[in-house]
């Protein structure tokens, strides 16, 4: 596994220029902990340029991209535009997009490949629903998503992370047991190794879904957990920085 954990915040549809101070505080913490943890904030597209200018050298990310490099796609934004605005990474395949915009695995794969082509690193999300877990299908569903969404080229530990985010854990305060997280991350690791050989061993597998300062250390201690994707608790530096510190301590 890669030496340091990656902790990425996903602001979703929250934040305007008045929140740039939070970005600055997180970037200061990341600089203080450099070499022990890697940190990124995926802010709304409207804030990427301002945030990247505010904290040069800190990783600002997008939350989604279009799968094409350009064209007649009203309202959409492509990877090259986000890169030009100052993003260095993007989330693809978040369950909120898979659900609301019917993004299937082939679309998620195309987005991941488009991001890598334009020089953006990728956090690729997978995760089962409550009903799928209840039916005993969580492993099968997530492994199928991984197999169907992984980019065919350009994936390395430095360019790709996979985020396991059980849908029922997102924004609910519920999290899987440590052994359920371990089981899923081990299964994803096998798929990554099958797809990419030794590079697949080093690609970080993040856990996401109700990560908080109070549970972060426990989650980071689980085998094959290479970091976290954090929603609600990334909006305020006062919540997010302790999670980042827990990841630095876990190494
Ligand atoms: P949450 O969201 O931390 O608010 O549960 C995680 C995510 O959706 O990435």
Q: What is the mean pLDDT of the chain?
A: 97
CB 194 within 8 A of CB 200: yes
**Which residues have CB under 6 Å of ligand 1?**
10, 165, 170-171, 208-211, 229-233
Average pLDDT on 30-36 reads 98
Q: Per residue in 82-132, pLDDT tens?
A: 999 999 999 999 999 999 999 999 999 999 999 999 999 999 999 999 999
pLDDT tens, position by position, 157-192: 999 999 999 999 999 999 999 999 999 999 999 999
What are the structure tokens assigned to 196, written together?
């990419």
Residue 94: active-site member: yes
Inform me whether the pLDDT recorded for 18 exceeds 80: yes
Mean pLDDT of the region 214-222: 98
127 exposure class (CB count in 10 Å sphere: 0-12, 13-18, 19+): buried
Q: How far is the CA of 7 from the centre of ligand 1 (A)?
A: 12
Q: What is the pLDDT of residue 47?
A: 98
Whether the pLDDT of residue 2 is over 60: the answer is no
Confidence of residue 234 (pLDDT cuts 50, 70, 90): very high
User: What is the reported pLDDT for 9?
Assistant: 98
Ligand 1 atom closest to the CA of 212, numbered from 1: 3
C-alpha 108/C-alpha 91 separation (Å) is 10
Q: How many angstroms is it from 231 CA to the middle of ligand 1?
A: 3
Task: Reply yes or no on whether 165 is catalytic.
Answer: yes
Percent of the chain with pLDDT over 90: 98
pLDDT value, residue 128: 98
Residue nearest to atom 9 of ligand 1 (CA): 231
- The answer to whether 43 and 78 are in contact (CB under 8 A) is no
Compute the distance from residue 234 Cα to the ligand 1 centre, in Å. Answer: 9
Percent above pLDDT 70 for the chain: 99
Say if CB 42 and CB 82 are below 8 A apart. Answer: no
Using the atom order of ligand 1, give the atom closest to the CA of residue 91. 9
CA of 27 from ligand 1 middle (Å) equals 20
Give the ligand 1 atom nearest the CA of 229. 9
What local confidence, expressed as pLDDT, does residue 3 receive? 78
Atom of ligand 1 nearest to the CA of 12: 8
Give the model's pLDDT for residue 124.
98
* pLDDT for 195 beyond 80: yes
The confidence score (pLDDT) of residue 42 equals 98
In the prediction, which pLDDT does 198 show? 95
Query: How far, in whole angstroms, is CA 156 from its chain's centroid?
Result: 15
Angle between helices 178-196 and 138-149 in degrees, nearest 10: 30
- Reported as a single tens digit per residue, the pLDDT across 45-85 is 999 999 999 999 999 999 999 999 999 999 999 999 999 99
Residue 228 Cα to ligand 1 midpoint, Å, equals 10
pTM for the model stands at: 0.98
The per-residue pLDDT for 172 is: 97
Print burial letters for 212-221: b (CB count within 10 Å at least 16), e (below 16): ebebbeebbe
Q: How many residues would you count in the chain?
A: 251
- With H, G, I as helix, E, B as strand and everything else as coil, classify residue 210: coil
pLDDT of 1 above 80: no
Catalytic residue (choose from 96, 103, 128, 165):
165
């Amino acid at each position: 596994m890669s030496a340091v954990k990656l902790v990425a915040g996903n602001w979703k549809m929250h934040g305007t220029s008045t929140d740039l101070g939070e970005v600055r505080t997180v970037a200061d913490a990341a600089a203080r902990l450099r070499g022990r943890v890697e940190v990124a904030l995926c802010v709304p597209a409207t804030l990427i340029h301002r945030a990247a200018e505010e904290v040069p050298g800190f990783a600002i990310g997008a939350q989604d991209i279009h799968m094409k490099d350009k064209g007649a796609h009203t309202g959409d934004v492509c990877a090259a535009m986000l890169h030009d605005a100052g993003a260095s990474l993007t989330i693809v395949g978040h369950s909120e997009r898979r659900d609301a915009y019917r993004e299937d695995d082939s679309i998620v794969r195309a987005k991941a490949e488009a991001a890598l082509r334009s020089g953006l690193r990728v956090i690729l999300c997978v995760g089962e629903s409550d009903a799928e877990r209840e039916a005993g299908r969580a492993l099968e569903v997530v492994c199928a998503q991984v197999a169907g969404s992984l980019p065919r080229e350009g994936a390395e530990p430095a360019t790709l992370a996979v985020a396991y985010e059980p849908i029922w854990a997102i924004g609910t305060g519920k999290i899987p047991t440590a052994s359920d997280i371990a089981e899923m991350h081990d299964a994803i690791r096998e798929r990554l190794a099958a797809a990419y050989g030794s590079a697949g061993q080093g690609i970080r597998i993040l856990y996401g879904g109700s990560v908080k300062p109070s549970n972060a250390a426990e989650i980071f201690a689980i085998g094959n957990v290479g970091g976290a994707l954090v929603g609600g608790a990334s909006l305020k530096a006062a919540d997010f920085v302790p999670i980042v510190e827990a990841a630095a301590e876990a190494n």
